[in-house]
Amino acid sequence: MDRLFGGKNKAPKPTLEDAMSGLDTRISEIDVKLSKLNAELATYQQKMSRMSDGPGKNAYKQKALKVLRQRKLIEAQKDSLQSQSWNMEQAAMTTNSLRNVMTTVDAMKSANKELKKQYGKINIDKIESIQDEMEDLLDMSNDLQDTMSRSYAVPDDISESELDAELDALGDEMQFESAETDGVPSYLMESNTGALPDFVDEPVVQDKQELAA
């Protein structure tokens, strides 16, 4: 029965890319034909350029006109095929653009689902509680640092009047020591005596008047 009435065509339907490929093949074949016709026209033109007017030249002219008509028909066919190819390219570009849009939309849907799932696991109240605890711990750490850096032996406050009194006392003490030694440095004097230190070997020579007396 299938042989008589024909069965369903199980061959895959041609795609837009297949149709574009077929058009490109036909356009290439037309280009080959046009090249042959142009070469033939060039041959006739060269022959006619070397001939004088007459029956022979007219015969070549008629042949050239025939080839020119064929070329125009083929060029018109080529223009039509190129228009179809351009329309198919536009359709293919639009189709690819729509596919990209759909892919992007599907990706966005998946991302939204994942974000909702992840955000559903987050408890804002717990995060705020953690932030508050962290702030309290930082305050406790600062207080601890202040406590550990406290000085015990240094007075907390010294007034300027106390500082002036201490400086005046030091000055008086230095003047008192200078008056006791009569200008002799203290490191040359023995404690509680006016004798010379032990490192002086020879006694001091007395004045001649004192010896004569």
pLDDT tens digits along 76-98: 999 999 999 899 889 889 988 99
C-alpha of 72 from chain center? 59
Residue 67 CA to residue 40 CA, distance in Å, equals 8
Please say whether the dihedral angle defined by the alpha carbons of residues 171, 176, 178 and 179, taken in this order, is positive or negative.
positive
The pLDDT of residue 124 is 82
Rounded mean pLDDT of the chain?
Answer: 78
In this predicted structure, what is the pLDDT of residue 57?
83
> What is the pTM for the complete model shown?
0.44
Q: Which residue has the higher pLDDT, 7 or 102?
A: 102
Q: Which helix (H) or strand (E) segment is 170 a member of?
A: helix 160-180
Instruction: Give the model confidence (pLDDT) of 113-157 as tens digits.
Output: 888 888 877 788 888 888 888 998 998 888 888 887 766 655 556
Position 122 scores a pLDDT of 78
pLDDT tens per residue across span 22-37: 889 999 999 999 999 9
pLDDT at 110 over 60: yes
* Amino acid at site 169: A
Look at residue 173 and tell me whether its pLDDT is greater than 80. no
Whether pLDDT at 211 is above 70: no
- Give the pLDDT confidence score for residue 101 in this predicted structure: 93
Report the amino acid identity of residue 167: L
Q: How confident is the model at residue 176 (pLDDT cuts 50, 70, 90)?
A: low
Cβ-based neighbours of 85, under 8 Å, separated by 6 or more: 20, 23, 24, 27
Residue with token string 């008086």: 172
Q: What distance in Å separates the CA atoms of residue 33 and residue 30, rounded to the nearest whole number?
A: 5
